[in-house]
Structure 1
Amino acid sequence: MNTIVSPDRKPVALIAGPTASGKSALAMALAGIANGVVINADASQVYADLRVLSARPSVEDEATVPHRLFGYRDAADACSAADWAADARAAIAEVHDAGRLPIIVGGTGLYIRTLLFGIAPVPEIDPAIRATVRGQSVTENYAALSVEDPIMAARLRPSDTTRIARALEVIRSTKESISQWQERLEGGISQEVSTYPVILLPPREWLRARCDARFEHMLAAGAVAEVEALMTRELDPTLPAMRAIGVPEIAAWRAGDISREVMIERAQTATRQYAKRQYTWFRHQLPPEWPRIGAHLDANLIDKIAIKLREDVLTH
């Protein structure tokens, strides 16, 4: 997964890392000094219905510098990594055509890996198989996957509804493990552009405190109303937007199933756990030579990193 920087290729900046690590602030700083356009790579921030709970950039920030692929899909739409990558490729091309710098920013590792390095060319899944798998509980699917594809089962968390279902439907429909398909990636842009990445991995204690404070801020900023609006639509609870952190917790509270205190505790715990998984993924799943920033971001460090990225891009 080596990314080659070449003067013959147009530049793309990448700012990645776990939730609450400061990615958006750095992206804004870089866009402001490098004629940049911020392109979202966060699976929750694609949904228009989740401005607050996905911690989307503010209306003011979106008005200050151009933003793409934020809030452009409806909660009823299940946006896959392949869907997003196709949209991102188009957005990057438009930004290059305008003579500006695309700045990919987000914490969804699967999105970033799919865009840069491609996706497995898995054939269309048999609709009957998909219906059967999607109609079963995650417990049933994980038990079946453990028998039919134990290698993939060992790689996945037993509660990972989406990935377990995907692995099970692939092995049943194609007779090959998704791990085998993933060895034949297609469609990545890493050999078409010069990538200038920075991975944010701040101190864990600092990140945990930020995660807890962020959810409290979301509640004050209108997260409850956001979830109530979703609840009135009676959407499929397995949709990605309906499983975004904060949505099931607030929905359970509004339904009277749990107290407000339990709701907050569960959402904060889920946020910390998600950040921990992201932290591990970004430490190990992207090329080891890519720079990783281990300090927490303050205004001075944000400016220094942004200036260094701009200089790298301008001298490529």
Structure 2
Amino acid sequence: MTVDARPLAIALMGPTASGKTALALEWAQRLGGEIVSVDSALVYRGLDIGAAKPTGAEQAAVRHHMLDLRDPWQPYSAAEFASDARRALDDIVARGGLPILAGGTGLYFHALLHGLSDMPEADAAMRAALEAEAGERGWAALHAELQRIDPVAAARIHATDAQRIQRALEVFRLSGRTISDWRRSAINVPRLPFRVLKLVLAPHDRAVLHQRIEGRFDAMLRDGFLDEVRHLRALPELRDHPRPLDLPALRAVGYRQAWEHLDGAFDAIEFRDRGIFATRQLAKRQLTWLRGELDARWFDPLHERQGLERALRLFLPT
């Protein structure tokens, strides 16, 4: 009988506000683990309150990885994440620790666990979002956006070619790299040589998740989220940027809405409503992606804690 000698890792996956961070911290402290963030907002410095970045005390209690890697005006791709996170995992195991992957960015998980093909695969949620955006702004406006971020592709794609505009923007928004860049330098990251316990934390009752999202957003407002965004707006690199809201960092939920509110586009009440709605939409997209992870086990973190603990015991060596 062949023994699986691959090192172990735990992946705590789930929509935003589902309790991943708290469980990752608890298990890391109990098991001598270290946390590897799988979150596309947490890689950016300065995105702290609005991105629910682990606090200083939490980072002091448990070693964290993949936080604060870039300034918000700098690009960071899923391929870079996979490479950087793989090194972090190897370092944790070399020190005798247990890596605990925690986050909700599906593309980052896919890149790390399964590797990337030449470019991201089609994403139904992202395509639906682009369709909705085109319905509001028109495909010509989206083609103009493509012209700004990838003039090479825009020159090849007619302003009325909705399908190709959608694909080019889909690739950029999913990966942070233009479709032209992907075609110039194909990337093929090997599958992760770890044995991974994949657990999805998701309340069975969607209303519970919505309540948690609303409560967390209000807590962020009380903790100074708008002051955080004011600080970002004052940074010269963002203040002088011609289109800051096109930057991947500022497409993080809440930040775009806060930026537009501070621009005077709508009042504080509408800002809160828009921020909560955008976060709920993010959670919906995350759940859609997670349903495609057929080898992941789903648990309601509020009512199935015993099941989570049982899955952990069965996975870890005795």
Same fold by TM-score greater than 0.5? yes
Q: Which residue of 1 is the match for residue 288 of structure 2?
A: 280
Kindly indicate whether the alpha-carbon contact (under 8 Å) linking 1:133 and 1:168 is maintained by their aligned counterparts in 2. Answer: no
In structure 2, C-alpha distance between the alignment counterparts of 1:15 and 1:44, rounded to whole Å: 17
Choose which of 234, 237, 245 in structure 2 pairs with 1:232: 234
Q: Which residue of 2 is the match for residue 37 of structure 1?
A: 34
Q: Which residue of 1 is the match for residue 107 of structure 2?
A: 110
Deviation at 1:268, TM superposition (A): 0.7
Aligned pair in 2 of structure 1 residues 257, 148: CA closer, same or farther (>3 Å)?
closer
Aligned pair in 2 of structure 1 residues 47, 307: CA closer, same or farther (>3 Å)?
farther
SS of equivalent residue, structure 1 residue 314: coil
- The residue type equivalent to 1:314 in the other structure is P
Structure 2: give runs of 5+ residues left out of the alignment. 120-144
Q: Which residue of 2 is the match for residue 194 of structure 1?
A: 195
RMSD: 3.2
Per-residue deviation, residues 222-245 of structure 1 (Å, max 9, x unmatched): 111110111012524121112211
Kindly indicate whether the alpha-carbon contact (under 8 Å) linking 1:145 and 1:167 is maintained by their aligned counterparts in 2. Answer: no
Q: How does the TM-score come out when normalised to structure 1?
A: 0.78
SS of equivalent residue, structure 2 residue 230: helix
Report percent identity of matched pairs: 31
- The residue type equivalent to 1:8 in the other structure is A
Kindly indicate whether the alpha-carbon contact (under 8 Å) linking 1:37 and 1:67 is maintained by their aligned counterparts in 2. Answer: yes
Q: Which residue of 2 is the match for residue 162 of structure 1?
A: 173
Choose which of 263, 275, 290 in structure 1 pairs with 2:296: 290
Aligned pair in 2 of structure 1 residues 163, 9: CA closer, same or farther (>3 Å)?
closer
Deviation at 1:132, TM superposition (A): 3.9
Choose which of 5, 11, 14 in structure 2 pairs with 1:8: 5
- The residue type equivalent to 2:297 in the other structure is P
SS of equivalent residue, structure 1 residue 209: helix
Aligned pair in 2 of structure 1 residues 6, 278: CA closer, same or farther (>3 Å)?
farther
In structure 2, C-alpha distance between the alignment counterparts of 1:101 and 1:164, rounded to whole Å: 28
In structure 2, C-alpha distance between the alignment counterparts of 1:98 and 1:195, rounded to whole Å: 18
Structure 1: give runs of 5+ residues left out of the alignment. 123-129, 175-180
- The residue type equivalent to 1:204 in the other structure is R
Q: How does the TM-score come out when normalised to structure 2?
A: 0.78
SS of equivalent residue, structure 2 residue 36: strand
Q: Which residue of 2 is the match for residue 177 of structure 1?
A: none
Higher relative contact order (CA 8 A, sep 6+): 1
* Alignment: residue pair count: 282
Which is worse superposed, 161-170 or 9-18?
A: 161-170
Deviation at 1:29, TM superposition (A): 1.6
- The residue type equivalent to 1:22 in the other structure is G
Deviation at 1:312, TM superposition (A): 1.2
